[in-house]
Structure 1
Amino acid sequence: MVGAAATSAVQAKRRKYENLDSSFIFVPYVVETLGPWVPEVRALFKELSKRVIESTGDPRAGSYLGQRISLAMQRGNAASILGTVPRCGGFEDVLDFI
């Protein structure tokens, strides 16, 4: 089922951080690599985008935020993959990019 892994991860993160001080707003940021964002993450992103746009006055700021998040996820995925392959050389150019 689409989103099942994300939903399971949300529940696990909620359990992990259930004792977090109530002065914090906790939204488990869970995104499936090729799947949808969970509703809480989508709502958080929309709110953050709205606030960035209001703060900067730039209507493109929300899009820029989405692009930054996307790049961070891609870099994290690349680092995860590179961390699982044996050191055999030839990845220097890729590592410089990350």
Structure 2
Amino acid sequence: MVGAAANSAEQAKRRKYESLDSSFIFVPFGVETLGPWGPEARALFKELSTGDPRAGSYLGQRISLAIRRGNAASTLGTVPRTGGFEDVLDFI
């Protein structure tokens, strides 16, 4: 099911922080690395992106870019550090 991991992550975060003081507003934000967002992440995104129509686009792009950077860092972290940049190009 598409988005099941994001939904599961949101539920786990809600359980983890259920004892958080009620003076805080807590919204779990689950996003899968290949795109699907959890239901609470989508709801928060819609709430934050009302007003300027470009605001939602900019916020979505920033989140997408952060996920891609994390994926790249994870992938490059598996490459042995043996030499220069040429080794990375061989890997890709």
**Given the two structures, how large is their TM-score scaled by the length of structure 1?**
0.71
Residue 67 of structure 1 and its aligned partner are, at CA, apart by: 1.0
Counterpart AA for 2:54? R
Asked if 1 retains the 8 angstrom alpha-carbon contact of 2:10 and 2:40, the reply is no
RMSD: 2.2
* Distance across 1 between alignment mates of 2:75 and 2:54: 32
* Distance across 1 between alignment mates of 2:20 and 2:79: 36
Q: Tell me what 2:71 maps to.
A: 77
Is residue 61 from structure 1 mapped to residue 55 from structure 2 by the alignment?
yes
Counterpart AA for 1:65? L
* Distance across 2 between alignment mates of 1:18 and 1:45: 21
Identity %: 80
Is residue 32 from structure 1 mapped to residue 26 from structure 2 by the alignment?
no
* Distance across 1 between alignment mates of 2:37 and 2:16: 20
* Distance across 1 between alignment mates of 2:44 and 2:17: 18
- Structure 1 stretches of 5 or more lacking a match? 54-58, 94-98
Aligned length: 86
Tell me which of the two structures has the higher relative contact order, counting C-alpha pairs closer than 8 angstroms and 6 or more residues apart.
2
